[in-house]
Amino acid sequence: MSTNHVTAAASGSFSIGGDLPVNRLGYGSMQLTGPGVWGDPKDPDEAIRVLRRAVELGVTLIDTADAYGPFVAEKLIKQALHPYPDNLVIATKVGLTRCGPNDWRPVGRPEYLRQQVELCLRHLGLERIDLMQLHRIDPKVPLADQIGELALLQKEGKIRHIGLSEVTIDDVKAASEFATIVTVQNLYNVANRDAEPLLEYCEANNIGFIPWFPLATGELAKEGGPLDALAKQHNVKPSQLALAWLLKRSPVMLPIPGTSTLSHLEENIAAAGIKLSDEDFKTLENAVQS
């Protein structure tokens, strides 16, 4: 199957919050940092090229976070893409603080969230963040205080929409008492479908579902693995098939595969052009037990 000239537009579109249309296949910026999501990338020039190429290939949703680096990914996005195209939605996150490589700690105190939102605005060169996600709910701080502060920043015009990350259905319902929640971002892929009930809740309520770790690389994609035979049938890579499966799974699905290389980026975007039959979709789903 030829995937030449395929852009992210082939993945279809979804309107975040009812007023922010994006192409469903986006780009996640976490891999643009150093090892352990800490510090600068090994090749900053390639990081800039990847971001610019993503936009050239029709990506209109870029996901990032203050904690990536920290601040490294946001600054690279600004360096590569500012002033931003009118149709580009930058989604970022606050609520996890960093003390070193692979060290992530939830901090949801309102004054901290406010400080980080202000820093995100500065580092991204924005006056308003289209989608601000609470990176993790801090169990030590009342949810009303965490979501309430983001809602206050929304009223002040610094945030357009609010999302959540790594949550349950009950978390979404509880947060919805204090603000309109338009997206959730949870671990989900063809091999790990633990978040299926949450995805179904999002579908029923027109909430965007952003699966992180969408490719589920490793065992899943290895030679002779469950994705391998079907990928060969379609003349595509197993990782492309994993993305095609996600896009077919739900109209609210917004995969954000990340990479630090141009070749892998182009491979990922080409997955938007793969149309799985219902039979292929089921074969893949049944071959990989969550």
Structure tokens at 208: 């965007």
Structure tokens at 143: 């949810």
224 sits in the region (left: phi over 0; alpha: psi -120 to 50; else beta) called left
> How deeply is 86 buried, as exposed, middle or buried, from its count of CB atoms within 10 A (0-12, 13-18, 19+)?
exposed
* Annotated catalytic residue, options 68, 112, 188, 201: 68
- The question of whether 201 is a catalytic residue gets the answer no
Greatest alpha-carbon pair distance for the chain in Å reads: 54
d(CA 236, CA 256): 19
Q: Is 219 helix (H, G, I), strand (E, B) or coil?
A: helix
> Minimal CA–CA distance to 139: which of 162, 168, 118, 114?
168
- Active-site amino acid positions: 68
